[in-house]
A and B are shown apart, each in its own frame.
Chain A
Amino acid sequence: MPQIEAVNLSKRYGTFAALSSLNLRIEGSKCVGYLGPNGSGKTTTLKLFTDMIRASEGKALINGVPVHENKRMALEHYGALIESPEIYPSFTPKEALSMTAEIRGVPREEGAKRIEEAVAEVKMEEWIDKKVGKFSKGMKQRALAAALLSDPDVVLLDEPTTGLDPRGMSEVRELLSL
């Protein structure tokens, strides 16, 4: 059963505490909202769960595997959109997704099949061979969302609808409900 856990997780920048002693355990197949005012440490938490930053104290675990100590194993069946990630502008969604699949160790044929499915889910078949640099923000979000559809156990999203128009927001929500 998928599981994420924070044990006494803290992040300090000098004297400023961005996150203080977070203890959290979420398991099972569910969609959980992680809410709080600006500056409360939401993005910091997600960054700690993806090893984008180092914890000052405590541990972040995915399926029982500590992220910082064993990143590859912890993030193997895991997808994340933190802050505003971008896809390489000179790449097509197909190339970007192939690279992600390759890094995740998905065999080539299976990867190609999964990409096809994921692209169909986000309704981007027509755009699969177009350069990402020409995409609108909404299109980029869709392409990024496609990367998450490679069957991960855990998906972490940081304000995934920010900057999107109402239609884009609705599409992202639709994707999340799949």
Chain B
Amino acid sequence: MTAKTLLSHSFRIAGKDLTELFRNRLGLVMLVLMPIFMMSMVGFIYPSSGSTVSNLPIALVNEDRGYWNSTIPSQTLVTLLQQINSKTGMMVLSNASRVDDLKSLVQKGDIDGGIVIPGNFSASIMNGEQGTLIIVTDQSNPQISATIQAVLSSVFDQLGTALAQQKVQSLNPAVNASNSLAIVKPYKVQTEGVVSGDTSYFNFIAPGIMAMTVMMSVMTGLPVAISQEKEIGTLDGMMVAPINRLSIILGKTLGQTARGLIQGVLILVLSVGLFGVVIQGSIVLVFGLLLLGVFSFVGLGIVITSVAKDQETAQMMMMTLMFPMMFLSGVFFPIQQMPWYMQTISKMLPLTYASQALRKVMVLGAGIPAISAELTILIVFGVVMTAIALPVFRRMMTR
């Protein structure tokens, strides 16, 4: 059999699979809806621009007893706090009379946290000591708790700086606002990325979701493409035709690749068009990586489908593999946050490298040299899995 015939048969089989896909209206709708839902959810929850923190319900308890009947420091603090909040809209501030009331409101879920100005606040400030402010957080929600801590710490830092500047200027009228800031804060930190623009969680997650969707598409599509055909008997028709087994496997692979790419492209279009993701690198490289991602998952998918007795078992095996991959491959959380042993597992998964490479290209504008390690791993993984898949699939077809 010539290579031309082999390829022509493969294209025919891939064409057949795609025709079936396009004629299955509900299946097609789901194929399109799945990436739309996924990206819409993530995109609207974690927008790529603007503040992600707003309208946090926070209660304020002012227990300041003052210093010789003067509560100027705490009043100034509250006024400045309200001024900053009216500009940023980060908090919805309310008042509580006691710390216990504040804690009770947190327990009920009416507020996300609180600020307590202790009784000795003004006295400490007036006596030239450091005043203490207490931030009360909701420990049942670590993410919000961390956000509130960060937001309030930043607000109090600004307040502290403003007060210190005032003090410096009052001590020496020759010092202007700019000089007083340099005295209070001799260093300022300037953060710069590799490319221009701000980053966001959506920019981090979009490339990972693209790689993950391609993986899911291939891993869920293969059991249908192979096991289902085996079960309903259509594969038998193909088996008795004068067609090479390699053509069948290649055809199935091409069909699944096209299916995965359709979803990958949809995600890409949604990310760019609807959620403002900017692709810093080459779009061709993004497509190339999506293709490579498909290639690396197809071999694994074929092995599983071949080993499984029926479609149900194949799907269960796929799900069992897919879920840990989704969470361990750094799609949703950076793998650096994981303990070392989980990071070791993560480094064995192709999805880690596919999402990492896509992220580097899309967010950092990396070229081929910068992702050569990921490319090599994906190619090697794909080649090894395909080399295992071919004999396993042939064996499955002629048990």
Contacts and interface: CB of A to CB of B under 8 A. Distances in A.
A50 B240 contact: yes
Contact of A53 (B23, B234, B242, B398): B398
Nearest to A79: B240
A78 to B, nearest CB: 8
A75 B242 contact: yes
A95 B5 CA distance: 20
A99 B236 contact: no
Interface in B1-35: 1, 5, 9, 12, 16, 19-20, 23-24
Contact of B19 (A50, A74, A91): A91
A90 B20 CA distance: 6
A174 B22 CA distance: 37
Interface in A65-89: 71-76, 78, 80, 82-88
B244 A71 contact: yes
B239 A52 contact: yes
Contacts of B24: 90
Nearest to B16: A99
A83 B236 contact: yes
Contact of A86 (B1, B233, B239, B399): B233
B342 to A, nearest CB: 41
Given A51-B239, A76-B242, A87 B234 contact: yes
A102 interface: yes
B398 A72 contact: no
A2 B397 CA distance: 27
B234 A86 contact: yes
Contact of B239 (A50, A84, A99): A50
Contacts of B20: 88, 90-91
B236 A75 contact: no
A11 B16 CA distance: 33
A75 B244 CA distance: 11
B171 interface: no
Contacts of B23: 90
Contacts of B239: 50-52
Interface string B196-239: 00000000000000000000000000000000000011101101
A78 B379 CA distance: 40
A42 interface: no
Given A83-B233, A84-B233, A90-B24, A103 B243 contact: yes
B284 interface: no
A104 interface: yes
Interface string A39-75: 0000000000011111000000000000000011111
Contacts of B189: none
A162 B236 CA distance: 17
A113 B237 CA distance: 22
Contact of A72 (B232, B233, B234, B244): B244
Say whether chain B's binding surface is mostly helix, strand, loop, or mixed. Answer: helix
Interface string A147-175: 00000000000000000000000000000
Given A71-B244, A103-B242, A104-B242, A90 B19 contact: yes
B236 A72 contact: no
Nearest to A84: B233
Interface residues of B, number: 23
B16 A88 contact: yes
A174 B398 CA distance: 33
Contacts of A80: 240
B21 to A, nearest CB: 9
Contacts of A20: none
Contacts of B237: 85-87, 100, 144
B174 interface: no
B24 to A, nearest CB: 7
Contacts of B233: 83-86
A111 to B, nearest CB: 13
Contact of B236 (A52, A90, A104, A105): A52
A53 B233 CA distance: 15
Given A90-B24, A103-B9, A82 B240 contact: yes
Nearest to A81: B240
Nearest to B232: A86
A169 B397 CA distance: 31
Contacts of B16: 88, 91, 99
Nearest to A48: B398
B241 interface: yes
A86 B237 CA distance: 7
Contacts of A100: 237, 241
A104 to B, nearest CB: 6
B234 A85 contact: yes
- 5 closest pairs, A vs B, by CB? A90-B23, A86-B233, A75-B242, A50-B240, A72-B242
17 contacts: A50-B239, A50-B240, A51-B239, A52-B397, A53-B398, A71-B243, A71-B244, A72-B1, A72-B243, A75-B241, A85-B233, A85-B234, A86-B234, A87-B234, A87-B237, A91-B19, A91-B20
Given A52-B239, A75-B242, 11 more contacts: A51-B240, A74-B242, A75-B240, A75-B241, A86-B232, A86-B233, A87-B237, A88-B234, A90-B24, A95-B19, A105-B5
